[in-house]
Amino acid sequence: MRGHLRPALTMVLILTALTGLLYPLAVTGMAQLFFPGPANGSVILREGTARGSGLIGQHFDRPEYFWGRPSATAPVPYNAAASGGSNLGPTNPALIETVTTRVAALRAADPGNDAPVPVDLVTASGSGLDPHISPAAALYQVRRVARARGLEEDALRLLVARHTEARQFGLLGEPRVNVVHLNLALDDGR
C-alpha cells in the first residue's frame, strides 16, 4: 500500500501546485499584462473616483439620463452577484405582462413619442447586466433627455453617434451604445 500512497500524494501535490497556483497566476499575469482594463473590471474613473464599469450596466431612471436595458437581477438592478436572465419564453404571460408594463412606462415618460419602442428597452439581456443598448434605443430616448436637460435634440443625436460602437472586428455583433459612457459624457458636457 505504501508503494501506491507515496506516488499518489506526490501527484496530488504537483497537480495542486500546477492547477491551483501556477496556472491561475500565469493567466492572471497575462490578463494584467495584455488586458489590464477588462481584467480589473473596466472601472470608469472621473477625477480619481470610480463612476461605474464599462462592462456592467447601471440603473438610470431619471428623465435626464438615457436608460439602459432592464435588468433581470432582482431586487437590486444590475447586481452582478445575481446575474441571469428570466428564462421566460416569448409566449409566456408573465413576460408579455412585463413587456407591456415597460412599454407603458416608456410612453408615460415621453408622452407624444409614438415611435415603436425598441425591443432592448423592454427586455433584459441574458445576463441581466448588459451596459449596451442599440443605437435605435438610444435615439428613441433623445427627445425625453433633450427636454429634461434643455438641450437641442440634434446635439444629443450627435452625442449618441459619437458613442456608438461598431461591430467587433467589423463583423461580430451589432452596433451598440454603452449607456454608462453616454450618460457620463452627458454629465461631463462632452
Instruction: Kindly report, residue by residue over 147-166, the tens digit of the pLDDT.
Output: 999 999 999 999 999 999 99
Contact between 133 and 69 (Cβ < 8 Å): yes
- Residue 102 CA to residue 120 CA, distance in Å, equals 11
Neighbour count for residue 34 (Cβ, 10 Å): 9
pTM of the model: 0.80
Sole residue written with cell 421566460: 88
Please tell me whether residue 165 adopts helix, strand or coil conformation: strand
Q: What percent of the chain has pLDDT over 70?
A: 99
- Residue 161 CA to residue 177 CA, distance in Å, equals 9
Q: Indicate if the pLDDT at residue 74 is higher than 80.
A: no
Contact between 176 and 136 (Cβ < 8 Å): no
Please tell me whether residue 15 adopts helix, strand or coil conformation: helix
Contact between 110 and 120 (Cβ < 8 Å): no
Q: Which DSSP string do the residues of 26-86 spell out, in sequence order?
A: HHHHHHHHH-HHHHTT-EEEETTEEEEESSS-----STTS---PPP--SSSTT-GGG----
What average pLDDT does the structure give for the chain? 90
Instruction: Kindly report, residue by residue over 118-149, the tens digit of the pLDDT.
Output: 999 998 887 778 899 999 999 999 999 999 99
